[in-house]
């Protein structure tokens, strides 16, 4: 990979799990009634597609210092019951608003560490979620698991309520890298969880790996990739480490040991080559899958979708987020719950949806959203350049000239296609279409670097 291109395009940029991205949402969030009106309208228009549910379970017993997610560190497990009660109350408020039992296509338990919760509590949570709904026969139920605290009881309890997919947070297998990010899990633990899950009947196992962590080098990466290949996960999320110390001060503890931008990109190239040599195919941004996995099949069929949970084969337009910090996406509007647990619980005790932030999309947002999504999922997008509402897209093309000159994309009237060499820079391509980013360049840093 050309170093000059990395330097040129390694600028702060969003991951585009939504458009507009969170920092550019309206200053005033939608009221509960506006939000629910958007939820209902999208639900009614797409009832046949079904809905997706994301549940944020924020607790972890210890802080992994690299982590950019919303977490609450505690060893007090008495927090589990009131939290699950609140999530089920929140779900009931949505069921009341929908007025019928919705078809569920997808449930994802994210965190934090969902396996912080006991197996029995997780089962109660999922039973409570599915009681008032209809679970689609092809529904995809998945959870994030920490290899060091995922027990056979967790795997069994979730299998019994329909879970067949599991995502293991690995990040890196090297003991020195693990130590510096305050994380500990051995290869033996990962192997044991992976094998138990497969023996039980889980049919899609994902590993989260990160490149760009402190103390990583070509040798540690080769070792991590070899351990990963030995266990043959069906999918691999190969994330670029997001360094956002203004949001996550613990990341400062290892700042001096971070690889340079160039070394980081070399780690990505090494990972990509090694995974492709082992039969994995790159999907959109950050993801690899075996050809037998549903994610790869949907990428091939052009039906890949992306939402706050990342890439998914399910084309649902309504995503309901439950739990502290969870984001809901009604396609025409977004809403986010407070990040802290206390105001989240308080609001539900009072019987109110705990909305803290949100955004109702304008007509222009809706046009741009569709094309940014197409680029992230299919690496190309097309439009009619003569329609007045598409003028904003025609104008965005001027900002793509440099990427075109560098042979990272090709474009013409009404189309843009990301070339294979441009795939690592797909975020930069989307940024050209991000009118809100261009209209209001923020003074303070908002995003991690794109590379």
> How many whole angstroms separate alpha carbon 130 and alpha carbon 386?
47
Q: Is 239 in the site for ligand SAM (CB under 6 A)?
A: yes
Q: Is 111 in the site for ligand SAM (CB under 6 A)?
A: yes
Binding segment (CB under 6 A) for ligand SAM, from list 1-9, 111-119, 158-166, 407-415? 111-119
Quick one: which of 145, 105, 165 has its CA closest to 305?
A: 105
Out of 21, 113, 337, 397, name the contact with ligand SAM by CB under 6 A. 113
Least separation in angstroms between residue 5's CB and ligand SAM is 22
Least separation in angstroms between residue 120's CB and ligand SAM is 20
Q: Is 353 in the site for ligand SAM (CB under 6 A)?
A: no
Q: Is 146 in the site for ligand SAM (CB under 6 A)?
A: yes
Residue whose CB is less far from ligand SAM, 68 or 343:
68
Binding segment (CB under 6 A) for ligand SAM, from list 60-68, 191-199, 385-393, 408-416? 60-68
Least separation in angstroms between residue 35's CB and ligand SAM is 25
Least separation in angstroms between residue 264's CB and ligand SAM is 11
Out of 122, 141, 180, 210, name the contact with ligand SAM by CB under 6 A. 210
Least separation in angstroms between residue 249's CB and ligand SAM is 13
Q: Is 169 in the site for ligand SAM (CB under 6 A)?
A: yes
Residue whose CB is less far from ligand SAM, 172 or 434:
172
User: Which tokens sit at 144?
Assistant: 């994030």
Whether residue 144 contacts residue 207, with contact meaning beta carbons closer than 8 Å, is answered with no
Please count the residues of this chain forming the interface with ligand SAM, following the rule CB under 6 A.
Answer: 17
Binding segment (CB under 6 A) for ligand SAM, from list 98-106, 107-115, 119-127, 291-299? 107-115
Q: Is 323 in the site for ligand SAM (CB under 6 A)?
A: no
Q: For ligand SAM, what does the binding mask look like between residues 67 and 106, x meaning CB under 6 A?
A: xxx-------------------------------------
Residue whose CB is less far from ligand SAM, 69 or 353:
69
Q: Is 25 in the site for ligand SAM (CB under 6 A)?
A: no
Question: Which residue ranges make up the annotated binding site for S-adenosyl-L-methionine?
Answer: 54, 66-68, 111-113, 144, 171, 183, 208, 242, 327
Binding segment (CB under 6 A) for ligand SAM, from list 118-126, 152-160, 236-244, 394-402? 236-244
Residue whose CB is less far from ligand SAM, 97 or 258:
258
Q: Is 155 in the site for ligand SAM (CB under 6 A)?
A: no
Binding segment (CB under 6 A) for ligand SAM, from list 62-70, 117-125, 266-274, 310-318? 62-70
Shortest-Cβ-distance residue relative to ligand SAM: 169
> Which residues ranging from 116 to 145 are in contact with ligand SAM (CB under 6 A)?
144
> How many whole angstroms separate alpha carbon 158 and alpha carbon 143?
9
> How many whole angstroms separate alpha carbon 1 and alpha carbon 294?
30
Residue whose CB is less far from ligand SAM, 146 or 154:
146
Residue whose CB is less far from ligand SAM, 30 or 271:
271
What is the sign, positive or negative, of the torsion defined by CA atoms of 426, 432, 433, 439? positive
Least separation in angstroms between residue 247's CB and ligand SAM is 10
Count how many residues are written for the chain. 451
> How many whole angstroms separate alpha carbon 191 and alpha carbon 196?
8
Residue whose CB is less far from ligand SAM, 38 or 113:
113
> How many whole angstroms separate alpha carbon 316 and alpha carbon 205?
22
> Interface residues with ligand SAM (CB under 6 A)?
66-69, 110-113, 144, 146, 169, 171, 208, 210, 239, 241-242
């Amino acid at each position: 990979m050309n170093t000059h291109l990395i330097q040129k395009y390694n600028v702060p940029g969003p991951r585009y799990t939504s458009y507009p991205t969170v920092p550019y949402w309206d200053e005033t969030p939608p009221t509960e009634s506006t939000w629910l009106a958007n939820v209902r309208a999208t639900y009614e228009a797409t009832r046949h597609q079904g809905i997706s549910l994301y549940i944020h379970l924020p607790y972890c017993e210890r802080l992994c210092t690299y982590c950019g997610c919303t977490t609450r560190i505690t060893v007090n497990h008495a927090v589990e019951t009131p939290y699950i009660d609140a999530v089920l109350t929140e779900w009931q408020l949505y069921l009341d608003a929908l007025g019928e039992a919705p078809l569920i296509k997808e449930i994802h338990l994210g965190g934090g560490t969902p396996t912080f919760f006991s197996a029995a509590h997780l089962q109660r949570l999922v039973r409570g979620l599915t009681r008032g709904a209809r679970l689609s026969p092809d529904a995809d139920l998945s959870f994030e698991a920490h290899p060091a605290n995922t027990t056979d009881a967790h795997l069994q309890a979730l299998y019994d309520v329909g879970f067949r997919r599991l995502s293991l947070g690995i990040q890196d297998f090297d003991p020195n890298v693990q130590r510096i990010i305050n994380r500990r899990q051995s290869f033996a633990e990962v192997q044991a969880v992976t094998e138990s899950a497969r023996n039980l009947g889980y049919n899609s196992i994902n590993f989260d790996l990160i490149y760009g962590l402190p103390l990583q080098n070509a040798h540690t990466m080769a070792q991590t990739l070899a351990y990963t290949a030995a266990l043959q996960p069906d999918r691999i999320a190969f994330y670029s480490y997001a360094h956002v110390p203004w949001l996550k001060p613990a990341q400062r503890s290892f700042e001096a040991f971070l690889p340079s931008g160039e070394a980081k990109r070399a780690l990505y190239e090494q990972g990509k080559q090694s995974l492709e040599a082992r039969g994995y195919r790159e999907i959109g941004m950050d993801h690899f899958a075996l050809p037998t996995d549903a994610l790869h099949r949907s990428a091939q069929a052009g039906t890949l979708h992306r939402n706050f949970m990342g890439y998914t084969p399910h084309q649902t337009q309504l995503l309901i987020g439950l739990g502290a910090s969870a984001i809901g996406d009604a396609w025409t509007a977004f809403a986010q719950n407070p990040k802290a647990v206390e105001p989240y619980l308080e609001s539900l005790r009072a019987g109110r949806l705990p909305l803290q932030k949100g955004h109702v999309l304008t007509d222009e947002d809706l046009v741009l959203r569709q094309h940014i999504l197409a680029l992230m999922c299919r690496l190309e997008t097309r439009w009619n350049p003569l329609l007045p509402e598409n003028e904003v897209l025609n104008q965005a093309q001027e900002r793509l000239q440099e990427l075109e000159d560098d042979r990272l994309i090709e474009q013409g009237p009404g189309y843009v296609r990301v070339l294979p060499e441009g795939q690592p820079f797909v975020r930069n391509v989307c940024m050209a279409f991000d009118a809100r980013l261009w209209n209001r360049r923020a003074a303070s840093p908002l995003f991690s670097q794109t590379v």
